[in-house]
Amino acid sequence: MSENLVNLMNLDPDGLKEFCVAHGEKPFRATQILKWIYQWGVVDFDEMSNIKKDTRAMLKKVATIQAPEIVSEQKSADGTIKWALDVGDGSLVETVLIPEPDRNTLCISTQVGCPVKCSFCRTGKSGYSRNLTVSEIIGQVWRAATRVGFSENGEYKPISNIVMMGMGEPLLNVQNVLSVTKILLSDNAFALSKRRVTISTSGIVPALNKIAGKVDVALALSLHAPNDELRDVLVPVNQKFPLKDLLAAVRNYIDNSNANCGRVTIEYVLLDHVNDSTDQAHELAALLKDIPCKINLIPFNPHEDSEYKRPSNSRIDRFFKVLTEQYGMTVITRTTRGDDIAAACGQLAGQVQQRRLRGLNEQLEKLKDTKIEAKVSTGKE
């Protein structure tokens, strides 16, 4: 790509409007371009037939529209599809489509690798190189849509739900994740409802506090332990942001959100004889007694970089029953999808080229300079 061309996939709807105005166009030009890209899948300016020829010629001189290329596609026996996308420098990120009877969920990546390094996660083990750009994140959705379709299809859209549960920690890439969210929710782009877009986080407290009341989408918290002592080991970022601060930040986020309907989703990976005892289930219920939530139990998905094991079904069942029968909590045990192609939660590795080792501290430093300005509003519920 020529260095001087602006990739319009890096701009959110407001940014695209500013770009059009800066090039002598009316703001509605941005609406037209958004629709071409994200509703009809058109990225060739020459095909944008409602835009004047002169304007198209001007756009070609200053802009381009580029998503990362798909370099491989793997299909699971259960219908799950995993794509690897080339984001340059020999790095690959992965995106997973999970078809279900009433929805198609796309699981997208937000970083190349992940600096949080949770002890059980394959992405964490694969290292970390950098944040993905807006075009590299929204480009995953765009590429998937080129495979399954862009527009409405009977009762639901070809891609009806987005979860930021692929590679990386979304709240260490807040600015770009915010822009991506705006494109996902914009009526002129993917037009998804805010309840169908989920940010999953390991618990980056300052970022959560920054976006509270400004970015309204569904929130999933990767908790995985009922106390600080164990969480410090499983999710090392807990050493910086302990449970008391984290749960206060989560509360604050959902109190300022419509998308969550007053409840956060708690993700809890069940690791055999590590965090799955009935005592720990009681401790978890006590920890969450003031947090309106639903719990997703995720039996550990094994991978070659880990010694942890998935608990037996009877251990999973016992843990589940303590929460549901003794505390009346809403709990689902998430079924594993696509593990025959290593597409299940925490099995994504992509390919991470580490030119320079960058870690969590550097990422957290960057967060200090991040400005969260615009409120995402679509008028949709």
Residues with a catalytic annotation lie at 94, 345
Tokens of 147: 């495979």
Q: Taking CB within 5 to 8 Å according to partner kind, which of ligand SF4, ligand SAH, none is near residue 300?
A: ligand SAH
Report the interface residues with ligand SF4, using CB under 6 A.
114, 116-118, 121, 123-124, 168-169, 202, 222
**What secondary structure letter does DSSP report for 317?**
H
Shortest Cβ distance from residue 347 to ligand SF4 (Å)? 10
Nearer to ligand SAH, 300 or 320 (CB): 300
Instruction: Choose which of 76, 129, 140, 200 interacts with ligand SAH (CB under 6 A).
Output: 200
Size of the site for ligand SAH (CB under 6 A): 18
| Residue 123 backbone dihedrals phi, psi, to 5 degrees | -60, -45
| Residue 338 backbone dihedrals phi, psi, to 5 degrees | 70, 25
Instruction: Choose which of 25, 136, 169, 276 interacts with ligand SAH (CB under 6 A).
Output: 169
Q: Could you say whether residue 345 binds ligand SAH (CB under 6 A)?
A: yes
Instruction: Give a three-class secondary structure readout of 166-223.
Output: CCCCHHHCHHHHHHHHHHHHCCCCCCCCHHHEEEEECCCHHHHHHHCCCCCCEEEEEC
Q: Could you say whether residue 165 binds ligand SAH (CB under 6 A)?
A: yes
Shortest Cβ distance from residue 238 to ligand SF4 (Å)? 11
Hey, which residues between 287 and 306 contact ligand SAH (CB under 6 A)?
Answer: 298, 300-301, 303
CA distance 344 to 76: 10
Nearer to ligand SAH, 191 or 233 (CB): 233
Q: Taking CB within 5 to 8 Å according to partner kind, which of ligand SF4, ligand SAH, none is near residue 267?
A: ligand SAH
CA distance 135 to 124: 23
One-letter amino acid for residue 290 of the chain: D
Shortest Cβ distance from residue 151 to ligand SF4 (Å)? 32
| N residues, the chain | 381
59 in helix, strand or coil?
A: helix
One-letter amino acid for residue 59 of the chain: L
CA 76 from centroid of its chain's CA atoms? 21
CA distance 349 to 142: 21
Instruction: Name the residue with the smallest CB distance to ligand SAH.
Output: 346
Nearer to ligand SF4, 157 or 210 (CB): 210
Instruction: Name the residue with the smallest CB distance to ligand SF4.
Output: 124
Binding site for ligand SAH (CB under 6 A): 114, 118, 120-121, 165, 169, 200-202, 222, 267, 269, 298, 300-301, 303, 345-346
